Structure 1
């Protein structure tokens, strides 16, 4: 599992989500609360790597009521930790 507090760009996240999704889908997951996101001073999204592990686990689940409940729990978890800024050197 990735360290909490480690952030990647949406483009980098496309390489970590399985099965692979494009940057547009990653941004949509983030906007829906399925990924924990922080914003740089310049307004760019940075996605917490640990939340990508959580999303991968959700994607791997079989469709059904358990998956829907897991989605709702994931969103509650991520939105409860929203509101930070990611510091980047570049």
Structure 2
């Protein structure tokens, strides 16, 4: 997923998981089976630039969530009946 988010290829090497080469679109180019000791050879071409997610990260989601919570609380208070004194 990180390869797709950042638009850059990824080489992943693990001791007990999946060892793989992943292209900039998030597709697995080559991989080894899990729990198999072996060597995987491949090439990764460097890429420049950034994706919108790489630039903004999670800020748009956090801002929209904050606005939604604020609006929800405001509308909830307006629909509450007035307390009798």
Q: Same fold (TM over 0.5)?
A: no
With the shorter chain as reference, the TM-score category is under 0.3
Larger radius of gyration: 2
If the length of structure 2 is used for normalisation, what is the TM-score?
0.24
Higher RCO, Cα 8 Å, sep 6+: 1
Greater helix share, 1 or 2?
1
